Amino acid sequence: MRHAFSLVLTGLPIALTVAALSAAVWALHLSAGNRAIAALKANRDVAVAADAPPPVVLARMEFLIRQDRLTEAQPLAEALDGRADPRLRDDAHYNLANAWLRRGLDLITQGKVDAAGPFVVLARQEYRRALTLAPDDWDAKFNLDVASRLIRDFPAFERTVGDTGQVDRKRLWTDIPGTPRGGP
Amino acid sequence: MGPRILVAGMVLLALRVGAAQAQPAAGDGQAVTVRAERDIGFFTGDLVRADVLVPLPGGARLDPASLPAPGPVTYWLDLRGITLTRQGQAVVLHLVYQNFYVALDARRLEIPGFPVRLLGDGVSRDVDVPSWTIGVSPLREVAPPVQEDPKAYLQADRLAPLLDAGRWRMVAGGLMVAAILALLPLAYHRAWGPFRRRAARDFAVAARHLRRLGARGETEAGYLEALLILHRALDGADGRRVLADDLPAFLDRHPLFAPLRAGLETFFQASRQAFFGSAPARARHQLPFKDVQGLGRSLAAAERGRP
């Protein structure tokens, strides 16, 4: 009994100190993340590991999008899908979709309508993924509407899952939208 | 119509007409019904929820493998989830679809039906869940005001948030304070730091007693008591009896009191005369009560020189 009492008296401060130190280490880790975010927002090219805290990855995407390095931003959105909370993943896909769509709109403004097509399709896919994550994302709904008026969905391009898709040999390439996504 | 709109009216008819062979046990009076929370006003991205009531005649059960798998249904519709609940002699399928149709005008779209298989008594038969329609609505005007740059039509990007470091700093601070507070009982338990017992202030106590004794007026008995008080204080300070002959050794051990050597020698002489020489009067002459008090105060002051 007395032994247990002593043990509790000794153990409690030790446990609390360990907990306080862990919290402090975690706070320092988050502060480092915040510094990286601030640097990225100030347009400095800070390297970010794929397993960095999600807001840091999101800031990196923001930076890459500002630099128009969209093919580098795309895999980061995919990397977030595995672990970040749906709201942040939604933001990642939404921002990426906006970037693709802006590129498409720029090409349309320059009169290169055919070249714009793939980017608009990519944007629509990203909006759809954003809406899958957050069905009440009104910005994504609105911008998907904008993108959809440029290129409509056609029933011929039905989405399929697994091996249920039927390949028509004559039309094998017709519904490939353009640049493959991801990629090296 | 109630809060739940029954979209199955026309569907019921279709069942009666087209599904005669699909329901060999027709005549039980029950049909598959679809109940949707609403059937109009769906924007792109909205979730479409529907409950499908499938009656189970004669103890049949639903084959879970015959249910549609979540995933794309048509190019504009995804099935997101399907759950089952039992409701008496029926099973209810809770379906959640997501609509991705971008409408230019309000229009009705058909959500396709699907067959489910009922198992019972070694026979299986298919029952059709009827198709039903939802009304989709446009989100924007058909011809929005013309913008110079088409990018101006878009809603803005969302900025990356900052990490919540401040809250964790507060948590760390709070835990640190808690740890320090938890240290207090331990320090008390183990007599550490502020809870270590301090060395007694023997002469301070003695000086206080002497003052109180002096206030009661000077008598011979009082004088002897005063001498005894100082003796006990010396004993306490040294942790052993201190007699006249021990004085040099005492001052060696406690150099703090060395400046008072003369006063202490006088005190011991007076004490010897008072107690062993049976001449308190001479002792009082040699060391008056006032001087005993003074010596006590000096000793107390010297005592404050150590922690």
* Domain ranges (residues) in chain A: 34-158
ipTM of this predicted complex? 0.70
Residue B167 pLDDT > 80: yes
Minimal CA separation from B221 to chain A, in Å:
51
Q: Are residues A150 and A108 in contact, defined by beta-carbon separation less than 8 angstroms?
A: yes
Question: B101-113: per-residue pLDDT in tens?
Answer: 988 888 999 999 8
Query: Residue B162: what are its φ and ψ, rounded to 5°?
Result: -85, 160
Q: Band the pLDDT of B120: cuts 50, 70, 90.
A: confident
Q: Which chain B positions have a beta carbon within 8 Å of A33's beta carbon?
A: 163, 165
Enumerate the H helices of chain B as residue ranges: 9-18, 165-190, 202-215, 220-238, 247-253, 261-275, 280-286, 289-303
Q: Are residues B203 and B303 in contact, defined by beta-carbon separation less than 8 angstroms?
A: yes
Residue B231 Ramachandran class (φ > 0 left, ψ -120 to 50 alpha, else beta): alpha
In this structure, which amino acid lies at residue A76? Answer: L
Query: Is the CB of A106 inside 8 Å of chain B's CB atoms?
Result: yes
Q: What is the DSSP string of B63-122?
A: -GGGSPPSEEEETTEEEEEEEEEEETTEEEEEEEEEE----SS-EEEEEP-EEEEEEETT
Q: Band the pLDDT of A165: cuts 50, 70, 90.
A: very low
Closest CA to B97 of B31, B51, B32, B33: B51
Q: Which chain A positions have a beta carbon within 8 Å of B182's beta carbon?
A: 12-13, 16
Q: Are residues A53 and A30 in contact, defined by beta-carbon separation less than 8 angstroms?
A: yes
Best B97, B175, B184 member to test A by mutation, with max A CBs in 10 Å, is B175
Instruction: Using a cut of 0.80, tell me whether the model's pTM lies above it.
Output: no
Q: Band the pLDDT of B56: cuts 50, 70, 90.
A: confident
Contact call for B178 and A20, based on CB within 8 A: yes
Question: A85-94: per-residue pLDDT in tens?
Answer: 888 889 999 9
Q: Are residues B103 and B109 in contact, defined by beta-carbon separation less than 8 angstroms?
A: no
Which residue spans of chain B are classified as CATH 2.60.40? 5-136
- Strand pairing partners for B99? B77
In this structure, what token pair is assigned to residue B110? 């058909």
Residue B98 pLDDT > 80: yes
pLDDT at site A153: 61
Query: Is the CB of A64 inside 8 Å of chain B's CB atoms?
Result: no
β-sheet with B5-6: strand ranges across? B5-6, B33-36, B47-55, B90-99, B77-87, B71-74
Q: What is the CATH number of domain A34-158?
A: 1.25.40.10
Contact call for B161 and A55, based on CB within 8 A: yes
In this structure, what token pair is assigned to residue B78? 């995804």
Q: Give the chain B residue whose CA is nearest to the CA of A19.
A: B175
Q: Which chain B positions have a beta carbon within 8 Å of A142's beta carbon?
A: 139-140, 155
Decide which of A98 and B307 is more confident: A98
Question: A104-163: per-residue pLDDT in tens?
Answer: 888 888 888 888 888 888 999 999 999 998 899 899 999 998 888 877 665 544 444 444
**In whole angstroms, what is the distance from residue B54 CA to residue B31 CA?**
7
Q: Where are the beta strands (DSSP E) in chain A?
A: none
Query: What mean pLDDT comes out for the span B144-161?
Result: 83
Query: 10 Å Cβ neighbour count for B282?
Result: 13
- Per-residue HEC secondary structure of B258-282 comes to HHHHHHHHHHHHHHHHHHCCCCHHH
Question: A31-65: per-residue pLDDT in tens?
Answer: 998 999 999 888 888 888 878 888 898 899 999 99
Query: What mean pLDDT comes out for the span B245-264?
Result: 89
Query: 10 Å Cβ neighbour count for B278?
Result: 10
Q: What is the CATH number of domain B5-136?
A: 2.60.40
Q: Band the pLDDT of B220: cuts 50, 70, 90.
A: confident
Question: B69-87: per-residue pLDDT in tens?
Answer: 898 888 889 999 999 998 8
Q: Band the pLDDT of B135: cuts 50, 70, 90.
A: very high
Residue B8 pLDDT > 60: no
Q: How far is CA B50 from CA A67, B12, B15, B33, B70, in A?
A: 45, 16, 18, 10, 14
Decide which of B97 and A166 is more confident: B97
Closest CA to B42 of B103, B85, B125: B103
Contacts of B247 (CB under 8 A, 6+ apart): B261, B264, B265, B268
3 state DSSP class of A38: helix
Query: Is the CB of B138 inside 8 Å of chain A's CB atoms?
Result: yes
pLDDT at site B18: 34
Q: What angle do CA B33, B34, B37 make, to 5 degrees?
A: 140
**In whole angstroms, what is the distance from residue B75 CA to residue B101 CA?**
8
